[in-house]
């Protein structure tokens, strides 16, 4: 049995279109959809209940009071019944064979979980500074394309939670999602997938990129502006700093191994080498603007926002550590 888990928060119109897309799924296996309402104040519940009347599989409404995408996913997974669990978002379009492609990838690649490609549905004209082909800016919009060949996740590559499939045993072995990370209302926190993948890999689970596993992701006009990208990178820095505090993963390249941060010089809680990267990015940004290479300049500027998020979170973490020390 397939279980499709969709967390949602105040996007009932998008959700209605996503459920309409899921109605087109064609598989010989039994399947179910669990929509987890994470404290929505719109018509989410009625959209799910109305859709359930004509849905070709069991469509269930789940309410999760604890705020956060991870909490919603955990609630859906806990209530799901399928041996194969697929996770996605409330603003996607899927092919009829999406679940079967996931099962096929798990079998062919002989792995415990898979992640696939995510392509855009632009809701307004794509800005010229966002590449039509895969680039590092694609991550801001939850888009992904690692090419046409399978790749094992680990040292460099990480999936997107909007298009993943798992054998149920994965959550029994590695545990569920960490709700201290991941998107919450009013924030752009992330890194929950990376944290889970690190944990899964340490537990002996194998994950692979499956290029045949494809979904389309709607990109709203509200995200196609530089203000959103700057905000996303700022919160990306905060998220990486949170991950560093909890797991001591390199904030610039979390999959890098062999770094003993106890021996690395720090300034204000931030490894000193990141200040060199900051200086280099600031210089490249200036050169880009002077030469009117706007794309290059903006990409370097975003790294500075990323660094600002790191500084903010490390200052906060160090303050909490000092407070705890004084109280002991």
Give the pLDDT confidence of 234-293 residue by residue, as tens digits: 999 999 999 998 888 888 888 766 678 888 899 989 999 999 999 999 999 999 999 988
Res 259: pLDDT: 77
Residues 6+ apart with CB under 8 A from 262: none
Q: Is the dihedral of CA 276, 278, 279, 280 positive or negative?
A: positive
Q: Of 68, 46, 49, 58, give the one whose Cα is nearest residue 22.
A: 58
Average of per-residue pLDDT values in the chain: 93
pLDDT in tens, 144-166: 999 999 999 986 899 999 999 99
pLDDT in tens, 193-240: 999 999 999 999 999 999 999 999 999 999 999 999 999 999 999 999
Q: Write out the residue limits of the CATH 3.90.550.10 domain(s) in the chain.
A: 2-223
Burial bucket for residue 122 (CB in 10 Å: 0-12, 13-18, 19+): middle
Select the more confidently predicted residue: 318 or 113.
113
Residues 6+ apart with CB under 8 A from 253: none
CATH topology assigned to domain 2-223: Spore Coat Polysaccharide Biosynthesis Protein SpsA; Chain A (3.90.550)
Res 326: pLDDT: 54
Band the pLDDT of 71: cuts 50, 70, 90: very high
Residue 321 has pLDDT above 60, yes or no: no
- For residues 284 and 263, what is the distance between their CA atoms, to the nearest angstrom? 29
Place of tokens 């660094």: 307
Q: Where are the alpha helices (DSSP H) in the chain?
A: 12-22, 44-52, 69-79, 98-108, 169-174, 192-202, 226-247, 272-290, 294-327
Residue 131 has pLDDT above 90, yes or no: no
Tokens describing residue 30 = 């039994």
Res 184: pLDDT: 87
Residue 53 has pLDDT above 60, yes or no: yes
Band the pLDDT of 322: cuts 50, 70, 90: low
Res 61: pLDDT: 98
Select the more confidently predicted residue: 258 or 64.
64
CA 269-272-274 angle, to 5 degrees, is 100
Name the least confident of 93-97, 141-145, 319-323: 319-323
Whole-model pTM: value is 0.91
């Amino acid at each position: 049995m397939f279980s499709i888990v969709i967390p949602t928060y105040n996007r009932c119109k998008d959700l209605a279109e996503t459920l309409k897309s899921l109605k087109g799924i064609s598989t010989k296996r039994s399947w179910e959809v669990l929509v987890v309402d994470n404290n929505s104040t719109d018509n989410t519940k009625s959209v799910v209940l109305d859709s359930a009347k004509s849905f070709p599989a069991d469509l269930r409404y789940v309410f999760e009071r604890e705020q956060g995408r991870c909490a919603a996913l955990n609630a859906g997974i806990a209530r799901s019944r399928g041996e194969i669990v697929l996770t996605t978002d409330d603003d996607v379009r899927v092919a009829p064979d999406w679940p079967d492609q996931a099962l096929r990838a798990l079998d062919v690649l002989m792995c415990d979980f898979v992640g696939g490609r995510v392509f855009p549905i632009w809701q307004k004209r794509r800005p010229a500074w966002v590449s039509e082909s895969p680039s590092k800016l694609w991550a801001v919009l939850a888009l992904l394309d690692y090419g046409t060949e399978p790749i094992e996740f680990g040292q460099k590559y990480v999936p997107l939670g909007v298009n993943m499939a798992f054998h149920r045993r994965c959550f029994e072995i590695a545990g569920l999602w960490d709700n201290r990370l991941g998107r919450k209302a009013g924030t752009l926190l992330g890194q929950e997938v990376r944290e889970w993948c690190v944990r899964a890999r340490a537990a002996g689970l194998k994950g692979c990129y499956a290029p045949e596993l494809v979904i389309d992701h709607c990109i709203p006009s509200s995200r196609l502006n530089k203000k959103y990208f700057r905000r996303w990178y700022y919160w990306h820095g905060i998220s990486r700093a949170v991950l560093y505090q909890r797991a001591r993963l390199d904030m610039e390249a979390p999959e890098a191994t062999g770094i003993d941060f106890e021996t690395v010089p720090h300034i204000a809680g931030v490894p000193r080498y990141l200040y060199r990267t900051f200086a280099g990015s600031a210089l490249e940004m200036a050169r880009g603007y002077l030469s009117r290479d706007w794309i290059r300049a903006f990409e370097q500027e975003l790294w500075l926002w990323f660094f600002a998020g790191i500084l903010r979170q490390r200052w906060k973490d160090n303050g909490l550590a000092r407070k705890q020390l004084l109280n002991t």
